[in-house]
Amino acid sequence: MLMGSGTDFYRRVIKPGSYSGNLIRVMRAEGRRKENTDRMLDYLNWTSAGTARVAVTEVQLRYFVDERITVLSLDGRTSSEILKYMDPRTGMPRFEEYLESVKPDYVQLGQWSRGQNWFHYLTGYEVPANLIGEWETRVKEMNLGDSFMWNGRKVVFVQPSWLKIEWVKNI
């Protein structure tokens, strides 16, 4: 922990120009939140007047958008809500139960795949099978606009790495 903290201090404070490239964007984000939110909602084809609920792993999105988008954490780093859905045996969230509980309109893919990602190469850790990872694999064979059924609900592939869950049945 001491070595990691020292390395981080060196990278952020001592080594010039090595701060996060997004730091300046975050600092200026407040003035652009309306514009960013409009762009995000348009990107996702959000047509409702209500708040869009998006489940993501990288929750920094909340700094860039306004209250028209509610950001839900898929890993629990910034919200403890998902922690009650953690499987103590694997340490993996039980995504099916979590999604049924919080009912996000959109789920971002890209972090929960069982594929050979950078984390696997560095640590040898294999991501346990999980719902989000299954969806990531599934969309590789889909075109934008294609859909599938999950627990009686239609799930639509709306943008690269984004799925829309239709919680309300159309009558």
Which pair of structure tokens corresponds to residue 97? 């139960």
pLDDT at 1: 74
Query: Among 24, 25, 22, which Cα is nearest to 33's?
Result: 25
Q: In the prediction, which pLDDT does 116 show?
A: 54
Q: What is the pLDDT of residue 83?
A: 86
pLDDT of the residue at 19: 52
- pLDDT at 14 (0 to 100): 64
Domain ranges of the chain: 32-166
**Nearest Cα to Cα of residue 167 among 112, 115, 114, 101:** 101
Contacts with 161 (C-beta within 8 Å, 6 or more apart), sequence order: 108, 109, 110
For residue 112, the model assigns a pLDDT of: 76
Concatenated DSSP letters of 58-80: -GGGGGTS-TTEEEEESSSSS-G
Q: Give the length of the chain.
A: 171
Cβ-Cβ contacts under 8 Å for 164 (sequence gap 6 or more)? 44, 45, 105, 106, 155, 156, 158
Could you give the count of Cα atoms lying within 13 Å of 168 in the half-sphere of its Cβ? Answer: 4
- The reported pLDDT for the residue numbered 60 is 78
Q: In a 3-state reduction of DSSP, which class is residue 54?
A: strand
Mean pLDDT by 10 residues, the chain (171 residues): 70 59 59 88 92 88 88 80 87 91 94 64 74 91 96 95 85 48
Q: What is the pLDDT of residue 169?
A: 56
Tokens of 1: 């922990």
Would you tell me how many other CB atoms lie within 10 Å of the CB of residue 106?
22
Give CA–CA dist 59/49, Å, rounded. Answer: 23
Question: At CA 34, angle to CA 32 and CA 35, rounded to 5?
Answer: 65
